[in-house]
């Protein structure tokens, strides 16, 4: 990892924003819009101005749900031109299966088979838009796939319906030669009281049960894991280790609150640091997507501050990760705590190895003499993050 010389975003950083993020108009359950509508093509220009690399969208962020085929074609064509003119790529497309009232009982998991079929049709059409715009990642976030009462359906039936829909969509991508991969995004609650597939780990368990497991991975979101009080970096690391980190949603969130979608790094700087360090250390080369929005107090100049802030914080933390990796005292402690000593090798199982391990005598007193200076290590990290090191 080389140190960034400045904190200016560059295309190789692969920073992306959804149309719905910088285009968020600040409505919440208690109050109305505070910012005027910004047309998708103008959002693209704004993203180019702040230095983003990519723009993502839901089908209906761009094409109104009841647009005619001709309207749809001309909107998508004009958007594509705007992206090209502004030098932005469309790495990911997704589908809104949560906004229209028809999804009040879910989409792929709804009890009404007509709603389920409509959800699949709507997704296929969103995939068509994605293919036209060059997107290779298709995110599926089942915001309405959940319950207020478990009386409404057996929970395992929901899993089966979800599987059936995703299997179908994989086949559609193969049939059309779209070369898309699906990134499944978990969330514990909001807008439903409980959402099926509440954590990234749930999806990692579900994916191997698909007909085409190689076509499905995850899109972990920082706020979603933090809402449950979980360690986001651990979820990302597990997904990465399984070869399933297809996309990532970066933002921030105070644990135990409503879904806040705060600017990246604004609530839990230390968690953001470990996350950035992880992504950079393993050379994750997918998009770094900020699924967040500006405070409701902002106008569109403030939205630019928000977007620039997400990217700047990421780059500062990347620089800090580089310093951490080259800090002699930190590295000295790491070498000390990871030394093997005289530990018997476990390795791959064999009968002889098992006998050897069973007969080994462990000197617990000696093992306990080994220093584990994690207080010092953590304080060095804090000093480094606070800029006094
Ligand atoms: C949320 C989700 C969404 C999804 C998006 C993509 O909490 O609302 O994070 O923003 O990421 O809909 O499918
Ligand atoms: Mn979210
Ligand atoms: Mn998200």
pLDDT, block means (10 residues), the chain with 389 residues = 80 98 97 98 98 98 98 98 98 98 98 98 99 98 97 98 99 98 98 98 98 99 96 98 99 94 98 98 98 98 98 98 98 94 90 96 94 97 97
Ligand 1 proximity of 185 Cβ (cutoff 6 Å): yes
Instruction: Please answer whether residues 49 and 82 qualify as being in contact, where contact means their C-beta atoms are separated by less than 8 angstroms.
Output: no
Q: Spell out the residues 6+ positions from residue 177 whose beta carbon is closer than 8 angstroms to its own.
A: none
- How confident is the model at residue 176, as a pLDDT? 98
pLDDT for res 342: 79
Nearest to 238 by CA among 205, 264, 208: 205
For residues 202 and 6, what is the distance between their CA atoms, to the nearest angstrom? 39
CB count within 10 Å of CB 249 equals 27
Q: How much is the pTM? A: 0.97
Neighbouring C-beta atoms of residue 211, cutoff 10 Å:
13
Ligand 1 atom closest to Cα of residue 95: 13
Q: Rounded CA gap, 201 and 207, in Å?
A: 10
Q: Which residues are close to ligand 3, an ion, with C-beta < 5 A?
A: 221, 249, 291
- How many helices (DSSP H) and strands (DSSP E) are in the chain? 15, 10
**What is the dotted CATH code of the domain comprising 11-319?**
3.20.20.150
* Ligand 1 within 6 A of CB of 52: no
Nearest to 46 by CA among 66, 29, 23, 69: 23
Q: State if residue 291 touches ligand 1 by the CB under 6 angstroms criterion.
A: yes
Which of 249, 264, 289, 290, when mutated, tests ligand 1's pocket best, judged by the most ligand atoms within 8 Å of its CB? 249
Residue 283 appears among annotated catalytic residues: no
**Dihedral Cα 15, 18, 24, 29, nearest 10 deg:** -120
Please classify residue 132 by burial: count the beta carbons closer than 10 Å to its beta carbon, then call 0-12 exposed, 13-18 middle and 19+ buried. middle
Residues 261, 265, 271, 276: is their CA dihedral positive or negative? Answer: positive
Q: What are the residue boundaries of the structural domains of the chain, listed by start?
A: 11-319, 328-385
Count the Cβ atoms, other than its own, within 10 Å of residue 343: 10
Give me the pLDDT at residue 340, please: 82
* Residues 240 and 203 sit within 8 Å (Cβ to Cβ): no
| Closest-approaching ligand to the CA atom of 96 | 1
- Residue among 28, 91, 184, 185 whose CB has most ligand 1 atoms within 8 A, to mutate: 185
Contact between 5 and 316 under an 8 Å Cβ cutoff? The reply is no
C-beta of residue 287 within 8 angstroms of C-beta of residue 92? yes
Q: Give the CA distances from residue 287 to residues 56, 108, 120, in Å, rounded to whole numbers and listed in that order.
A: 10, 27, 26
pLDDT for res 1 = 62
The Cα 246–Cα 140 span in angstroms is 12
């Amino acid at each position: 990892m080389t140190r960034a010389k400045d904190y200016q975003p560059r295309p190789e950083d692969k920073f992306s924003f959804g149309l719905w993020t910088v285009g968020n108009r600040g409505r919440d359950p208690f109050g109305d819009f505070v910012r005027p509508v910004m047309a998708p093509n103008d959002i693209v220009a704004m993203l180019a101005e702040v230095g983003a690399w990519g723009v993502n969208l839901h089908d209906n962020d761009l094409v109104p749900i009841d647009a005619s085929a001709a309207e749809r074609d001309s909107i998508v064509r004009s958007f594509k031109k705007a992206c090209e003119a502004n030098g932005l790529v469309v790495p990911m497309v997704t589908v809104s299966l949560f906004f229209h009232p028809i999804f009040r009982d879910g989409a792929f998991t709804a009890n009404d088979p007509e709603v389920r079929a409509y959800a699949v049709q709507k997704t296929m059409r969103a995939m068509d838009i994605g293919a036209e715009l060059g997107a290779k990642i298709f995110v599926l976030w089942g915001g309405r796939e959940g319950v207020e009462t478990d009386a409404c359906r057996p929970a395992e039936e929901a899993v089966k319906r979800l599987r059936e829909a995703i299997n179908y969509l994989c086949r559609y991508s193969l049939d059309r030669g779209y070369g898309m991969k699906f990134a499944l995004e978990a969330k514990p609650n909001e807008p439903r009281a409980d959402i099926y597939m509440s954590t990234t780990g749930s999806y990692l368990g579900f994916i191997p049960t698909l007909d085409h497991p190689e076509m499905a991975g995850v899109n972990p979101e920082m706020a979603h894991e933090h809402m449950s009080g979980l360690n986001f970096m651990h979820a990302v690391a597990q997904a990465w280790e399984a070869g399933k980190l297809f996309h990532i949603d970066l933002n921030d969130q105070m644990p135990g609150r409503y879904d806040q979608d705060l600017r990246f790094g604004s609530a839990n700087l230390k968690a953001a640091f470990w996350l950035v360090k992880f992504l950079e250390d393993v050379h994750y080369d997918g998009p770094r997507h900020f699924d967040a929005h500006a405070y409701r107090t902002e106008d569109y100049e403030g939205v630019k501050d928000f977007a620039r802030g997400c990217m700047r914080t990421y780059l500062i933390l990347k620089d800090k990760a580089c310093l951490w990796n080259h800090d002699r005292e930190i590295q000295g402690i790491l070498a000390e705590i990871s030394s093997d000593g005289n530990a018997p090798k476990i390795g791959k199982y064999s009968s002889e190895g098992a006998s050897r391990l069973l007969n080994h005598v462990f000197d617990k007193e000696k093992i306990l003499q080994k220093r584990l200076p994690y207080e010092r290590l953590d304080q060095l990290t804090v000093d480094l993050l606070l800029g006094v090191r």
